[in-house]
Structure 1
């Protein structure tokens, strides 16, 4: 299985230039037979990659593909960030990058960063699936240790959203908004999501896994699986007249920013990020509905408090709502 994955990775690296490559050339490059090449090529279709075949010319990936490269990523990180992380791994395919980070956390490893080209079982909040087509978006997870228990993590998912906005704004994007507690929106459509999971002792030393999914160039076939308004970075850049960033460069900027956030979060917590979040609040002053199972609340969203909890005005009474399994939507 590991050998097959390495062969697939090498095949994709060869085809990533978007040019035609013959079966003989691919077989020689990979050190396998033509039959083995064909077996690997069939996997590309299973991954949703559009492979063109022309007799006499060979095979190509239409439009090419910028593969994630761990060496490029590490080289782009600052020396401080490289010293703060224990490992950075790029997987061709996995069930979930958060699952890999949780496994490392269970082994006591902290500062582990995992990226993947494809997730077969990517997940968002409340057990929802995260559509994860191959090589087109970013799926990033990292784990981090905190000695003060879960109380130190208050508001962290909101801070991650604010950091993600800052990273994208430095790329020239405008109009980004945040939906409590963990979504990044553009013109009301979801561009990115955050999933936090915890392991260890909630009252003592614990580890948090921060997972980020960011839509870069969502293929139409994969998009049919998404059950809410969405947008990808390519569409945003077309509208904002900015150039889409290179995938590796953007991934490195995101890792750099997340490590800096986690390394210092225990000092000031969400207080340092509250204003950053509130100035991007997509629902401030708007009627919203919060639901969890059979329970529901309706009121006017009034921003967040110092812990990241939502402040809801219900008939003139202020109600404080903590994240957990709550889901929020606008009320028309």
Structure 2
């Protein structure tokens, strides 16, 4: 009994698996199923609440989740990958909790490994310019992928646009929801943000380049967690005709990214650039660009072949590199 209790206390997913059906389960029933005491069950439930799991408790009925929950499974995700993507992926991990999937990969991944990491919850997820990324437990998709380019940073070119177009296509094919792209790397549905990408790299100018590509996508964002979001947002659950499966979507996005990186490594990016242009949310719209203390206004006129934004202002048409800039529509 002691060993079973220790296992249950160290692995909250056992209780989550029992609660995943969205029905009420008494503490006694949960303890019987796990072979532990009601006190051990209660300690686990407290840990889950602290992790942000939206548990409901009703006297006389027990505990339940507000709606059915699908936990991520590395085996289920890998099974859904195409043969090409599966052959290129060295390792796939699913974590219950981490600070951020990208930070975790940077700490654990060896150079040259193609390694993907997903998490049920992030405690310090990050977007561009160091912004916090709201990451409630099992509500959304948090995915990072490590990859090696032999040609060095200069060979990456418009990699963020390639990755953005591949992610948008994967979401669209899996859910039927039309996905727009806001330069340089945000995913949109209409005028509301659905998710984003962040690429971090390390390498010498003339040597191999290691990248970690992070993706965050809102699937079922709890309203309570969304209070910390400082811009218009949405999630796929509000738009898809059928509730998106987390493992199916994770596999579709990972597969699309792996195939896009294979193509980019071979030097082929034009089809992805064309796909990105078809989803351009900013084209021909008035925008304001913030770069440090400098603010510039103009009309967005698409992107060039290197992935820079083309901004038309009183001085003419000028490219704007992504870098540490922020962009807002002003109409």
What's the TM-score once normalised by structure 1's chain length?
0.93
CA deviation map 1:3-26 (0-9, x unaligned): 677521211112111122222332
CA contact (8 A) 1:86 1:111 kept: yes
1:38, CA displacement in angstroms? 0.7
* 2:198 match: secondary structure: strand
CA contact (8 A) 2:22 2:68 kept: yes
Q: Show the counterpart of 1:164.
A: 167
User: In the TM superposition, what are the counterparts of 1:40-119 in structure 2 within 5 Å?
Assistant: 40-105=44-109, 107-119=110-122
Q: Show the counterpart of 2:138.
A: 135
Q: Show the counterpart of 1:289.
A: 288
CA contact (8 A) 1:196 1:209 kept: yes
Q: 1:30 aligns with which of 27, 34, 47?
A: 34
Q: Show the counterpart of 1:185.
A: 188
Q: 1:111 to 1:6 in 2, by over 3 A?
A: farther
* 1:229 match: secondary structure: coil
Q: Show the counterpart of 1:244.
A: 243
Cα distance between partner residues in 2 of 1:71 and 1:232 = 25
CA contact (8 A) 1:104 1:112 kept: no
* 2:220 match: secondary structure: coil
Q: Show the counterpart of 2:312.
A: 313
Cα distance between partner residues in 2 of 1:179 and 1:255 = 20
CA deviation map 1:121-152 (0-9, x unaligned): 00000000000000010000010000101122
Cα distance between partner residues in 1 of 2:166 and 2:292 = 30
CA contact (8 A) 1:152 1:269 kept: no
User: In the TM superposition, what are the counterparts of 1:143-162 in structure 2 within 5 Å?
Assistant: 143-162=146-165
In structure 1, the gaps of 5 or more residues are: none
* 1:110 match: secondary structure: coil
Moved over 4 A (4+): 2-6
* 2:104 match: secondary structure: helix
Q: 1:4 to 1:269 in 2, by over 3 A?
A: farther
1:271, CA displacement in angstroms? 2.5
* 2:111 match: secondary structure: coil
Q: 1:133 to 1:140 in 2, by over 3 A?
A: same
CA contact (8 A) 2:287 2:329 kept: yes
Count of aligned pairs: 326
1:93, CA displacement in angstroms? 0.7
* 2:97 match: secondary structure: coil
CA contact (8 A) 2:9 2:40 kept: no
CA contact (8 A) 1:311 1:320 kept: yes
Q: 1:40 to 1:279 in 2, by over 3 A?
A: same
Cα distance between partner residues in 1 of 2:9 and 2:155 = 39
Q: Show the counterpart of 2:327.
A: 328
Cα distance between partner residues in 2 of 1:111 and 1:213 = 19
Cα distance between partner residues in 2 of 1:293 and 1:3 = 50
Cα distance between partner residues in 2 of 1:316 and 1:294 = 20
CA deviation map 1:88-141 (0-9, x unaligned): 111011100011121234x32521010001000000000000000000100000
* 1:24 match: secondary structure: helix
CA deviation map 1:38-84 (0-9, x unaligned): 11101222233222223443221121211111111111122322221
1:228 aligns with 2:231: yes
